[in-house]
Amino acid sequence: MKTLLLRSALVLAATVLPIFSAPVFGADASEGALRKTAGPLKIVSSLPRTGSANAQTTSMVNGIKMAIAEVGGKIGDQVLSYEDWDDASPQRGNWDPAVEAQNADKAIADAAVLAYIGTYNSGAAKISMPKLNAAGIVMVSPANTAPNLTKPGFGESNEPAVYRPSGKVNYFRVVPTDDVQGAVAADFAKELGAKKVFVLNDREVYGKGVAGVFEKRAKDIGLEVVGVDGIDAKASNYKSLVTKMKQAGAEVVYFGGTTQTNAGQLAKDIVSGGLKAKLIVPDGCYEKAFIEAAGDKALAGRAYITFGGVDPKLLEGKGKDFYESYKKTYGGEPEGYAVYGYEAAKVVIAAMQRIHAAGGTLTRESVLAEVGKTKDFTGALGTWSFDANGDTTNRTMSVNTVKDGDFTTVKVVN
């Protein structure tokens, strides 16, 4: 009986409260046009904060906070607040589809949210993209690199239309995509003098995508692909697989995957299994956690990590200002993606400022439209624009290796 009472009270509360609160929101909306300066403005980010990507995402969140602090946390007189959401769960130690879906729903339900910065993993983007698209909220990813999210011809035949139920583009990214990255990796494998390559992926959206591009490019430039396989990211080791690659005579192993999908273990097993091939991995491994998981010994001089952009230390112009200011504010080196977090927030804020300067109202619709108009934007990553698909025109890539427990750049490709 007691529980029944409690339950009916809850149901009552749940149904009645919105009725009472609705007029309040209604008033807000109708008066919005009159008092442009009122109404909260909010940017949220959805990144994997639990798990080994934490160091990377903390650095990205710092970048976003810096961008907001630079405008004093305000657009005109309106306060611009920021919330840092986690899309990972402890059970997975990695992004979780259920949590990412919740985050998207939460953003849609909160009328103050005008922009959604995220996601980190391309697989996660697939979940929130259609939701946010239908709601007309602008989404700017600082890290998704899977080409099929925005470009036709890379994934399923219904991609990317399936992510755009409204038919409009609401998803933008400030990072070059994997059709560039995978090709740079394949070219580099050839430069290393390899003739036979073995291509692995982690069976996730991002890993499979970038490995597919690598494989295609490798064949085009005359490398022999001696094997293709998908690994089990939760396996205890890959020693048997290493033996198979050894038998195939692999000189370069390409792994499309991330630190969270066991790239570290793979690097170790290549060494312990006596396979003398070099390992090339994409930007999902461009984080300190990868070096910690694999150990310096398994990587130094044997592993190469491609990254869409350059080492933060090598940034120029506004990027250099960012690097200096980051170190001063947070007292440490930024991880590779910090500057992308910063740039993503910057591009949204710049759009908001343009709307404000023109005397417009800041709504989801106006912010979305204005972000889409970003052209010849001069930011920390140089001067770039968003193309019709929502992708950046910036195509700078770097190839890095590991030395003394840190990344060092081997080559920059523009």
Partner 1 sequence: MSETEVFMQQVIYGLSNGMIIALVALGYTMVYGIIELINFAHGDVFTLGGFLALTVVGALGAAAIVDPGTLGDSSHWLLLFGLVIVCGLFCGGMNVAIDRIVYKPLRRAPKLTQLVAAIGVSFILVNLALFWGGAPMEVFGGGNAAAASKDFPELLEGSNLLGEDSNVVLRLEDIAIFVITIPLMIGLTLFVKKTRLGRGMRATAQNPVAAQLMGIDTNRVIAATFMIGGFLGGAASVMWSLYNNTISFQMGFRAGMDAFTAAVLGGIGSLPGAMIGGVLIGLIRAMSDQYIETRWTNVVVFGVLILILVFRPSGLLGLKQKEKV
How is residue 262 annotated by DSSP?
T
Give the whole-angstrom CA distance, residue 146 versus residue 391.
11
List all residues 6 or more positions away from 143 whose beta carbon is below 8 Å from its beta carbon: 47, 60, 119, 120, 121, 175, 283, 337, 340
Residue 239 interacts with partner 1 (CB under 8 A)? yes
Residue 226 interacts with partner 1 (CB under 8 A)? no
CB of 293 vs partner 1, minimal distance in Å? 4
List all residues 6 or more positions away from 112 whose beta carbon is below 8 Å from its beta carbon: 39, 40, 41, 42, 81
Of 39, 73, 93, 360, the residue at the interface with partner 1 (CB under 8 A) is 93
Residue 84 interacts with partner 1 (CB under 8 A)? no
Residue 240 interacts with partner 1 (CB under 8 A)? yes
Residue 167 interacts with partner 1 (CB under 8 A)? no
CB of 112 vs partner 1, minimal distance in Å? 31
> Which residues are 413's β-sheet partners?
397
- Select 242 or 351, whichever has its Cβ closest to partner 1: 242
Q: Which ranges of 33-121 does DSSP label H, i.e. alpha helix? A: 54-70, 97-109
Give the whole-angstrom CA distance, residue 384 versus residue 227.
38
Q: Say if CB 143 and CB 361 are below 8 A apart.
A: no
Residue 292 interacts with partner 1 (CB under 8 A)? yes
- Give the x-and-dash track for 184-213 against partner 1 (CB under 8 A): -------------------x----------
- The pair phi, psi for residue 7, each rounded to 5°, is -65, -45
Of 243, 396, 401, 409, the residue at the interface with partner 1 (CB under 8 A) is 243
List all residues 6 or more positions away from 56 whose beta carbon is below 8 Å from its beta carbon: 120, 287, 288, 289, 335, 336, 337
List all residues 6 or more positions away from 312 whose beta carbon is below 8 Å from its beta carbon: 319, 322, 323, 326, 333, 334, 335, 336, 338, 339
Residue 320 interacts with partner 1 (CB under 8 A)? no
Q: Which of 140-148, 151-159, 242-250, 311-319 is the region at the interface with partner 1 (rule: CB under 8 A)? A: 242-250
Run of H or E including 410: strand 406-413
Residue 235 interacts with partner 1 (CB under 8 A)? yes
Give the whole-angstrom CA distance, residue 173 versus residue 88.
21
Of the candidates 267, 342, 273, which has an alpha carbon nearest to the alpha carbon of residue 309? 342
CB of 292 vs partner 1, minimal distance in Å? 5
CB of 286 vs partner 1, minimal distance in Å? 15
- Give the x-and-dash track for 27-66 against partner 1 (CB under 8 A): -----------------------xxx-xx-----------
- Select 365 or 406, whichever has its Cβ closest to partner 1: 406
How is residue 235 annotated by DSSP?
-
Residue 295 interacts with partner 1 (CB under 8 A)? yes
Residue 268 interacts with partner 1 (CB under 8 A)? yes
- Give the x-and-dash track for 120-159 against partner 1 (CB under 8 A): ----------------------------------------
Give the whole-angstrom CA distance, residue 373 versus residue 362.
15
Strand ranges in 40-195 using DSSP code E only, listed in sequence order: 41-47, 74-75, 78-86, 88-89, 94-95, 113-118, 138-141, 171-173
Of 272, 361, 378, 408, the residue at the interface with partner 1 (CB under 8 A) is 272
Beta strand 113-118 with 41-47: parallel, antiparallel or unpaired?
A: parallel
Q: Which of 140-148, 223-231, 336-344, 376-384 is the region at the interface with partner 1 (rule: CB under 8 A)? A: 223-231
Of 114, 174, 175, 294, the residue at the interface with partner 1 (CB under 8 A) is 294
* Count of residues that interact with partner 1, criterion CB under 8 A: 38
CB of 18 vs partner 1, minimal distance in Å? 34
Residue 230 interacts with partner 1 (CB under 8 A)? yes
Residues of this chain that interact with partner 1 (CB under 8 A) are 50-52, 54-55, 90-91, 93, 203, 229-232, 234-241, 243-244, 246-247, 259, 262, 264-265, 268, 272-274, 289, 292-295
